[in-house]
Structure 1
């Protein structure tokens, strides 16, 4: 069954790559004119997905960087966050699914539910005004921050041993993964939320990784193809996301030696600063609207 799952992940991601490259060729004359830096964007991808490999929200870190650097508009931010994740997460998913034991039924339910949420989400996201997207991203940043802090303070239990879910726990987890798949499309990353859910259900904490990466390996390509179709993403950032593979591979090599506690505190500061900056942007936009 594992081989079938891996084959399916490879197929869906190959379809995304073909879909993305076709769109890129259609816009080859202007996509390099997008504001993202041709030098710093590849470097940022290495850093972002280095942290992401440890379960630290790449959505949150990317939001902090892109909004400060003005590399992508708020309207196109959700689509960009999803599309840039596809290739690096594809690599991560293969690494985690082949090395960590999780019950096949549990993994399939979580993946299918997250895919359904991701497929439905983009149709609603593109209709939201920028201020609403900004407000939702702020909520996502604060939720991610709260979950990291809760884990560090021991408020979230991380001592379960189960590798499979049954009955109501499986139903509730599937429903929540459906919600998380939809939330991905408005720039609220699912990593921290999935970790918290896995902990709450009494599963082995390490089981969060194949569930997160497996779900995202399917849901991200499907959701991202919708954003590509709707022309609501940064082609340049998505193209340079291939450099994120370097960050993934470096993180995998260093995972046994790195002090993730220090990284988590740094990320908490970044998330709070990013949320505050977006709040100021919302307030400024409201003042301009009131004056007009």
Structure 2
């Protein structure tokens, strides 16, 4: 089953690469003229996905960084958050999924639900006004900060023993994974939300990982293909993160103490959310 899952991950990501490379070739004259700083992207890409391996959301860090640095507009931010993480997330999944300790039916239903949500989402996101997207992005920043806090203070229970779900628990989990897959499209990462959900449903911690990684890599690949087709993303940022983000995703530093770094990230996320809220308020008053 591990080989089948990893094989499917490779296939869906090859599908994304086909559409992405084709789009790059069609717009090769425009890619390097996009506003993101060429000299900074390799470093930011590496460290964003290095931090992601320690559970710090790449969606959250990129959301705090890219608009502030004026690397991408709010309108194209959701698509960029999805497309930039496809290859690094696939690399993490291929590196880290070494066993499947969850019932295959539960795993399949969770992944399919997330993929359906991810497939539907982009068609609605591209039609949203920039201010509406900004409000969703603010919510994503706050959720990311709260989930880091929840992890630090052990507010998320992780003492379940089940390896499968059935009945209302499976239905509720599938509905929530569908929602998380859709929320990915507006910049709200699904890692921590998926983890909290399966823990709350009583699954044991090792069972969470293939669900979390499988749902994430299949859903972001699916949604990103749509964003590429709709040309609603930053090609330059996606190109650099697909190259240098992979290095961060597979570069493990087990001795790194991230406790203080997590507090710093929480402060940055809250500051970014408050800044966006103030700018929206000033705009409304004007």
Residues 24-63 of structure 1 mapped to structure 2, 5 A cutoff: 24-63=24-63
| Post-superposition offset of 1:156 | 1.9
| Post-superposition offset of 1:100 | 5.4
Other structure's SS at 1:72 match? coil
- CA distance in structure 2 between the partners assigned to 1:209 and 1:277 by the alignment: 34
- CA distance in structure 1 between the partners assigned to 2:103 and 2:44 by the alignment: 35
| Post-superposition offset of 1:99 | 4.1
| Post-superposition offset of 1:92 | 0.9
Other structure's SS at 2:251 match? helix
Residue of structure 2 in register with 1:73 after alignment:
73
| Post-superposition offset of 1:262 | 2.9
Worse-matched range after superposition: 18-27 or 88-97: 88-97
Other structure's SS at 1:69 match? coil
Residues 105-184 of structure 1 mapped to structure 2, 5 A cutoff: 105-184=105-184
For residue 264 of structure 2, the aligned residue among 252, 263, 266 is: 266
Please tell me whether the aligned partners of residues 60 and 141 of structure 1 are also in contact (alpha carbons under 8 angstroms): yes
Other structure's SS at 2:108 match? helix
- CA distance in structure 2 between the partners assigned to 1:215 and 1:170 by the alignment: 15
Counterpart check, 1:13 vs 2:13: yes
Other structure's SS at 2:267 match? helix
Q: Which of structure 1's runs of 4+ aligned residues deviate more than 6 A?
A: none
| Post-superposition offset of 1:67 | 1.4
Please tell me whether the aligned partners of residues 81 and 187 of structure 2 are also in contact (alpha carbons under 8 angstroms): yes
Residue of structure 1 in register with 2:280 after alignment:
282
Unpaired segments ≥5 residues, structure 2? none
How does the TM-score come out when normalised to structure 2?
0.94
Residue of structure 2 in register with 1:217 after alignment:
217
Please tell me whether the aligned partners of residues 32 and 236 of structure 1 are also in contact (alpha carbons under 8 angstroms): yes
Please tell me whether the aligned partners of residues 95 and 250 of structure 2 are also in contact (alpha carbons under 8 angstroms): no
| Post-superposition offset of 1:119 | 0.2
- CA distance in structure 2 between the partners assigned to 1:33 and 1:66 by the alignment: 16
Counterpart check, 1:247 vs 2:248: yes
- CA distance in structure 1 between the partners assigned to 2:273 and 2:127 by the alignment: 22
